[in-house]
Amino acid sequence: MNHRYQIGIKQLWLAGGTGLLLLPLILYGWLHFQRPPRTPQERSLFQGIVYKREVRSTPRPLMIHIVTIDLKAPGVKLLVTPGTPAPEKREVPTEINARTTSEFLKEFKLQLAINASFFYPFREVTPWDYYPRRGDRANVVGQAISNGASYSSHESDWPVLCFMTSQGGDSVQLLKGKACPKGTVHAVAGNQLLVEHGKAVGLNPDINDRNRPYPRVAVAMDKAGEKLWLIAIDGKQPLYSEGATLAELTKIIVDLGADSALNLDGGGSTTVVAATPQGATVLNAPAHTKLPMRERPVANHIGFYALPIPQ
């Protein structure tokens, strides 16, 4: 009886140990199935906002997400994440509390949101060792303005997207080498101008990942500054979407007919979220700490208010 009891205990420990070893694989597999399917899609999300998902197999598997926004459509209004000054004096000043794109969308009751500026400090070592986490302090790179209040200064080598508001709705202009003009309501900066006057711009050789497939985010605009395209390309996910080079991203934007475009923070930050009856829904497949569908807390975002489509 005692011998059988000992065998039972060993079998129990073996089963438990096997279960613990298999748990990460089960979790990883479950997350894979949460990703958007590799099927094309195009639909109107809100008045003035249309979402398109492109699926490509060459030059490698790609999932491309394009949101077209009519800034003159009724109800369309833009918001950049507001800065949040540190409550106490610090040796290294910080500008904002990190949050995921879904949290930003829900906090400000938006209809659409995407991650925006590059930021620091940043660390990603393992699924449990990374920075920033939700609520951690971070700094934006380049100029950042929200609701007319600037919380990050202009840097001459970081082009900036400047949003103005008028009676006819929001308009936007992309500036290189100078700060947004007085009266700018919202602004975010990027590290590389991709398109100018409808043509591809020579890539900055100092950008380390420019020639390798990578998750990407860009914002493009028409010549009148009345239409925006938000482009997100998933990456780091073999056989699903392996990312694009900056040259490939630029070609996609030129084919859209955009007049100018700016490269924003990509990598594991790449996240597009929409408000749905089920709550905040991630439209792409972010890959933070190598886990698919895990959102990264980032410094700031671009969000949109919009009206529902009439039934």
Model confidence, pTM: 0.89
Using DSSP's 3-state secondary structure scheme, residue 211 falls into: coil
Please identify every stretch of the chain with a pLDDT value under 50, giving residue numbers as ranges.
15, 19-20, 22-23
User: Which H or E run includes 272?
Assistant: strand 272-276
> Is 254 in a helix, a strand, or coil?
helix
In terms of Cα–Cα distance, which of 93, 96, 92 is closest to 84? 96
- Interval 284-299: pLDDT, tens: 999 999 999 999 999 9
Asked if residues 249 and 231 have their Cβ atoms less than 8 Å apart, the reply is: yes
**Do 114 and 283 meet the contact criterion of CB atoms below 8 Å apart?**
no
Give the pLDDT confidence score for residue 84 in this predicted structure: 85
Q: Is the dihedral of CA 25, 28, 34, 38 positive or negative?
A: negative
CA pair distance 44, 216, nearest whole angstrom: 23
Percent of the chain with pLDDT over 90: 78
Distance of CA 82 to the CA centre of its chain: 16
Residue carrying structure tokens 């073999």: 238
Q: What are the sequence ranges of the domains in the chain?
A: 1-33, 40-305
Give CA–CA dist 82/85, Å, rounded. Answer: 10
Distance CA 176, CA 201 (A): 12
Cβ(217)–Cβ(231) under 8 Å? Answer: yes
* Amino acid 20: pLDDT: 47
**Element spanning 26, H or E:** helix 2-33
- CA gap 98, 109 in Å, rounded: 17
Give the dihedral sign, CA 255/257/260/263. negative
Query: In 118-214, at which residue ranges do the beta strands (DSSP E only) sit?
Result: 119-120, 123-126, 129-131, 137-140, 144-146, 149-152, 160-166, 169-175, 186-189, 192-196, 199-200
* pLDDT tens readout for residues 214-258: 999 999 999 999 999 999 999 999 999 999 999 999 999 999 999
Q: Return all residues near 255 (Cβ < 8 A) that are at least 6 apart.
A: none
Tokens of 28: 């990883």
Which pLDDT does position 19 carry in this prediction? 42
